[in-house]
Structure 1
Amino acid sequence: MQKLMEQREILLNRQEYLEQEKIATSIEINRSIEKNEVLEKRKLKRKTNRRRKKKY
């Protein structure tokens, strides 16, 4: 019975750890998406500026 309780505790700890990892990974993914969006906007802005310079 004691061994089952220990295994249960281990599984609960593991589950908690994995939940925290899931949250941390989600935060990292969101940061990466936001960073990519900013970079794409900058790239588009540069292209637009280059085209304007070519016209004049």
Structure 2
Amino acid sequence: MQTDEESELKQEVEEAKRTIEQLKKQLGVMEQLLEQERNARVRAEFVAQQATNAA
């Protein structure tokens, strides 16, 4: 038989697991956004270099 304390601890562990999964998803989204930003910066630098060469 579980005590109230054990039951509460199990509930807290499950909540922590859900929080961790949510944070992992958020991290994945942030990593994608950072990659998009890096790609945009590289493209912008390339276009700027082409404009400089054309001038």
1:23, CA displacement in angstroms?
0.6
Query: Equivalent residue for 2:30?
Result: 31
Which consecutive segments of 4 or more residues in structure 1 shift more than 4 A?
A: none
> What's the TM-score, normalizing by structure 1?
0.71
**What are structure 2's unaligned runs of at least 5 residues?**
none
> What's the TM-score, normalizing by structure 2?
0.72
| Farther-moved stretch of structure 1 (27-36 vs 41-50) | 27-36
**What are structure 1's unaligned runs of at least 5 residues?**
none
Query: Equivalent residue for 2:53?
Result: 54
Change (3 A) 1:2 1:54: closer
Query: Could you list the per-position Cα deviations for residues 1-20 of structure 1 after superposition, in whole angstroms to 9, with x for gaps in the alignment?
Result: 236xx3xx244332221110
Aligned pairs, how many? 53
**Aligned Cα RMSD in Å?**
1.9
